[in-house]
């Protein structure tokens, strides 16, 4: 393989990796209760705390209040079942990131520049 082919392969791989990352970031959205949420580590962590808080309230026979969360367009959306919402966030996160991981491995294993 000539130096020109190696450079072309690396460039094509880099473009493919960046394109795939941008596509993946676009898929990390979750429609829920009339809002559109960007799935992020911060949102997942916050929702885990909401779920835990609801579970503690239920165990102690306390009323758990629904929580209002801002979606990606800053619209207030009421989350009445934080456990369900958290599960859906995790599900979307795993679906998208596992697919992303598989696609990146395919791109990295390609040997010829015109296969990318």
pLDDT digits (tens, 9 = 90+) for 65-113: 788 999 999 999 999 999 999 999 999 999 999 998 998 888 778 765 5
pLDDT digits (tens, 9 = 90+) for 7-22: 666 667 777 777 777 7
Which alpha helices (H) appear in the chain, and where do they start and end? 3-27, 41-59, 82-109
Between CA 57 and CA 72 the distance in angstroms is 28
| pTM summary value | 0.77
């Amino acid at each position: 393989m000539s130096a020109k082919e190696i450079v072309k392969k690396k460039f094509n791989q880099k473009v493919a990796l960046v394109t795939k990352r941008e596509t993946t970031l676009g898929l990390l959205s979750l429609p829920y209760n009339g809002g559109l949420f960007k799935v992020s580590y911060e949102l997942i962590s916050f929702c885990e705390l909401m779920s835990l808080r609801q579970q503690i309230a239920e165990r102690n026979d306390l009323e758990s209040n629904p929580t209002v969360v801002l979606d990606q367009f800053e619209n207030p959306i009421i989350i009445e079942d934080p456990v369900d919402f958290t599960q859906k966030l995790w599900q979307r996160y795993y679906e998208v990131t596992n697919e992303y991981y598989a696609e990146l491995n395919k791109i990295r294993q390609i040997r010829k520049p015109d296969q990318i």
